Amino acid sequence: MTTFAVTGHMDLAESSIELVRAALWKLLAEHADGSLVGVSCIARGSDSLFAEALLDVGGSLVVILPSRDYREAKVKPDHAPVFDRLIEAASQVVVLDHEHANRAAYEDANSEVLRRAERLVAVWDGSPPSPKGAGTADTVLEAKEAGIPVDVVWPDGAARIE
């Protein structure tokens, strides 16, 4: 069994979505041997694209939710159908012990994702960590410090919303 986790940008440009989806599918299909597991917080953008690609190649999805109020507080109406469908498709949903979605909850969610990972897929443009923390670059650095191999996915033509 191989367990991949994901971190990545939420603010992908519309023109990048299919590029990223195809790159994720290709990477995960190479490891789809009937025992592929993926761990994701299923946030908008990279996390959800990873989860969809994982399910498409026959993998098993583990969802990590940062807080008890995450769905109500943070999932926007246009992302709710995808979020709900992924929750339904998940083999396991883990809700962390935070009442509210906040920075501490996101940091704990990133740590939990990495704790379960054998490999990290980072949908990442290589930008440095932000002062806020708990972002893609922070998670990549944490994974590298923990000795977790990182597969960076950023296909030619990919961009973030400016």
Look up the domain containing 114 and give its range. 6-153
- DSSP for 11-50 reads -B-GGGHHHHHHHHHHHHHTT-SS-EEEEE---TTHHHHH
User: What local confidence, expressed as pLDDT, does residue 129 receive?
Assistant: 87
- What's the CATH code of the domain at 130? 3.40.50.450
User: What local confidence, expressed as pLDDT, does residue 136 receive?
Assistant: 92
Let me know if residue 158 belongs to a domain: no
Residue pLDDT tens, the chain, 162 long:
789 999 999 999 999 999 999 999 999 999 988 899 999 999 999 999 999 999 999 999 999 999 999 999 999 999 999 999 999 999 999 999 999 999 999 999 999 999 999 999 999 999 998 777 668 999 999 999 999 999 999 999 999 997
> Which of 14, 77, 92, 100 is closest to 49 using CA atoms?
14
Domain count, the chain: 1
